Structure formats: C-alpha cells, structure tokens
C-alpha cells in the first residue's frame, strides 16, 4: 500500500443510514478521502435498484487487479425489494470474518431513519461492520450549517438572509447547500454579503410561504410582521385574501397546536408527534413545517392557545356584524386587525 495514502478506516463495511442526504454523502466522501492515494485506489459507485443485488454484491466481492484499495459505494439500497435488501445486508455482515477481498471497503447508503429493516438482524460480533446514523437536521442545526457552509465559500449571510433560506427550503441540508451555491453565482464576483432580499430574488418565493407566514408571525407574537403580511395580502395585485379566510387559517393552526400539545403532554418526541399528526389528519404538509409548528406549540402552551381561540371567536362575531352583548359595530378590516394585535399580545403574554 502506498506510503502517501491516509490511514485506512478500521471498518471494512459501513451502513450509512438516515434521512439527511447531505450528511450521508459527506460521510461517504470522507471515507473515500481517507482511502485515497494518487495511484493505488479507486471508487466504484453503484445504484442498487438499477444494478440489482447480485451485481452489487459481485462488485463488492471482486478484488481489483490494478488498485490495492477499492471503495465500493452502494447507493439507494433502501429501494431494493425486502428479500434483496436482506440478502445484501446479510452477505456483508454474517460470518466469522469479513467476506470482502483484502483492500476492499464497502459503504451502503440507506436513505431511511430505521436500520436495519424489518426481518434483518445484525450480528452482535462483526468487528468489520459499522453503522453510521445521519439524522435529519432540525432548525438550530440547519442554521449552524448554513452559517458554516456560507463562510467556507466566502459569503456572509445577514440574519434575514438566513431566515429566508430556511423558510423557503426547510432543513434539507443538500438543498440548502445547493441554493447557497446558486446564490453566490447570482450575486456575482466581489459580492461577499447577502441579504434577505438577495435570497428572495435568487431563490424565489417560498413554496409554502403564504398565510402560513401570518400564522407563524402571530404565534411568535411578532405584531409588526403580522400586520405587514395582512396589509400585503390586502394590497396584492392578486385577488384579495378575505379576512374570514385569514381568520379561519389562524383558528385551524391553533386547533392543530392544541392537538399537538396533547401529544407532547403524553411524552411524545417531535418526530413521533409529526408522524401521528400527519397520519391522523391526512396532512401533506412537509415535515419541516410541522416540526416548526410542534416547536411553536411547545412554547405557546395550551392555556394561551385556548385564550387565542376565544379571541378569534369574538373577532368572527364582530366581522359578521356583532351578535354578543360585548360586541361593538366596527368595520371588518378593523375588527380583524384588532384581533391580530390582540393575538400577538396573548402569544407573548
């Protein structure tokens, strides 16, 4: 083995699993880098569902005639049929010793949170095997990643730029990294700092950014941003968004938060709560949006959410002309604006 090659990894077989694409790819790149030398190593990449399990295993079990070190990367293994996935895994882990030829290393990329899959048991004693979990990034981790990644390529992001990126793209690190690269191209040479406006122009409007932004602003108690959005909806060149639709959306979000709070009170974790809520309500909302809602619900607490719903009921009566003894006769816009300000105040109380 060449002297200039880095120290080889101690594990010959690695199962790199989890929902975060960027972290899985980074781990594979790190292993390839550790094995790399100028002349004696090679990396073979195989798409498991296209090649099939027989071809993937044949590639893994075949030594190289021209290279002393070989890194075989088997991607998208989670897309194999159950029987094929079982065959792939067990062929690499079962036995008294590593089944790979000398100098061969295998990395299996598995893009699901659960590993091994049902029906497959990993042996307790297989010292050549290593499991590497690449957990999905949550918002705090994603922010740190955005800051670090941008800094590495010489770009400073203003706070509103970072907010805009995560609001538009969520916490998918691969997607965020790709869009930061595009942002650098959009800004052009010599520009070292990006603002929220730069992100909005380069990345485009958020796919999920509309009334949900108003809900988020209200729950966060950000009255200035909430009223800015209300005015924006009214002044838009698009068809005006009715006050009743905005009110119904906020009420729906608060009811969702009450359901979430019940699950959190049972000791459920964020990802468990998201999974159950999506299933029970048949929601198609992206996980990162629901995770944000869960975090907001946790901060808000059931008492404040309930009081905010009562205030929305008062606003609804006022907007329809007033039916209660305490209701006053005011215009619909004024009634809704007053409710938004009160809701923000309750959220911060």
Q: Kindly state the DSSP code that residue 65 receives in the 8-state scheme.
A: S
Residues 283 and 303 occupy one common structural domain: yes
Residue 248 lies in a domain: yes
In DSSP notation, 78-128 reads GGS-HHHHHHHHHHHH-SSS--SPTTEEEEEEE-SSS-SPTT----S--TT
Which of 133, 159, 185 is the last residue in one of the domains? 133
Give the pLDDT of residue 3. 41
List, for residues 280-311, the tens digit of each pLDDT value.
888 777 677 788 788 888 888 888 899 999 99
Residues 58 and 122 occupy one common structural domain: yes
Domain range for 321: 211-348
**HSE-up (13 A, CA, CB side) for residue 238:** 6
Residues 258 and 330 occupy one common structural domain: yes
111 — phi, psi (to 5°)?
-85, 50
Which of 99, 133, 167 is the last residue in one of the domains? 133
CA dist 231 and 185 (Å) reads: 33
Mean pLDDT lowest for which of 37-46, 167-176, 286-295, 321-330? Answer: 321-330
Residues 180 and 266 occupy one common structural domain: no
Residues 54 and 27 occupy one common structural domain: yes
Residue 4 lies in a domain: no
3-state helix, strand, coil in the chain (%, to 5): 55, 10, 35
Residues 231 and 320 occupy one common structural domain: yes
CA dist 99 and 89 (Å) reads: 12
Describe the strand order of the beta sheet including 104-110 as a list of residue ranges. 41-47, 69-75, 104-110, 13-17, 129-133
Cis peptide before 224 (omega within 30 of 0): no
Q: pLDDT category, 130, cuts 50, 70, 90?
A: very high
Q: What is the separation of C-alpha 301 from the centre of its chain, rounded to a whole number of angstroms?
A: 24
CATH number at residue 344: 1.20.272.10
Give the pLDDT of residue 210. 59
Residues 150 and 174 occupy one common structural domain: yes
For the record, the structure tokens of 294 come out as 């869960």
CATH number at residue 71: 3.40.50.300
List, for residues 185-216, the tens digit of each pLDDT value.
888 888 889 998 888 777 765 434 557 778 88
Which of 203, 227, 242 is the last residue in one of the domains? 203
In DSSP notation, 288-312 reads HHHHHHHHHHHHH-HHHHHHHHHHH
Q: Are 7 and 29 in contact (CB under 8 A)?
A: no
Residues 154 and 274 occupy one common structural domain: no
Residue 252 lies in a domain: yes
pTM over 0.85: no
**Who wins on pLDDT, 314 or 209?**
314
Residue 300 neighbours by CB under 8 Å, 6+ apart: 219, 257, 261, 347
- The answer to whether residue 38 scores a pLDDT higher than 70 is no
**Who wins on pLDDT, 159 or 39?**
159
């Amino acid at each position: 083995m060449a002297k200039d090659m880095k120290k080889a990894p101690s594990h010959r077989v690695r199962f790199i699993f989890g929902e975060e694409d960027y972290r899985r790819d980074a781990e594979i790149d790190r292993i390839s880098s550790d094995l790399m030398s100028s002349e004696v190593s090679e990396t073979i990449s195989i798409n498991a569902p296209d090649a099939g399990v027989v071809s993937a295993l044949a590639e893994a079990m075949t030594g190289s005639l021209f290279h002393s070190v070989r890194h075989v990367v088997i991607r998208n293994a989670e897309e194999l049929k159950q029987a094929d996935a079982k065959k792939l895994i067990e062929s690499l882990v079962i036995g008294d010793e590593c089944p790979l030829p000398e100098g061969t290393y295998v990395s299996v990329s598995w893009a699901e949170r659960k590993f091994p899959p049902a029906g497959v048991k990993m042996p307790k004693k297989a010292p050549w095997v290593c499991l590497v979990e690449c957990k999905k990034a949550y918002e705090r981790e994603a922010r740190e990643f955005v800051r670090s990644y941008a800094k590495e390529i010489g770009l400073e992001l203003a706070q509103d730029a970072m907010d805009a990126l995560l609001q538009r793209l969520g916490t998918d690190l691969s997607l965020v990294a790709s869009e930061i690269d595009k942002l650098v191209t959009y800004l052009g040479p010599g520009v070292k700092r990006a603002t929220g406006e730069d992100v909005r122009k380069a990345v485009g409007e958020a796919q999920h950014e509309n009334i949900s932004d108003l809900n988020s602003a209200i729950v966060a108690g950000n009255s200035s941003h909430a009223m800015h959005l209300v005015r924006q909806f009214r002044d838009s060149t698009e068809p005006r968004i009715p006050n009743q639709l905005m009110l119904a959306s906020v009420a729906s979000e608060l009811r969702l938060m009450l359901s979430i709070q019940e699950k959190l009170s049972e000791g459920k974790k964020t990802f468990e709560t998201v999974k159950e809520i999506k299933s029970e309500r048949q929601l198609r909302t992206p996980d990162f949006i629901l995770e944000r809602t869960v975090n907001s619900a946790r901060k808000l607490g059931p008492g404040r959410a309930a009081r905010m719903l009562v205030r929305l009921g008062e606003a609804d009566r006022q907007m329809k002309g007033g039916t209660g003894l305490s209701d006053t006769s005011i215009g619909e816009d004024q009634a809704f604006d007053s409710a938004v300000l009160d809701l923000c105040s309750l959220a911060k109380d």
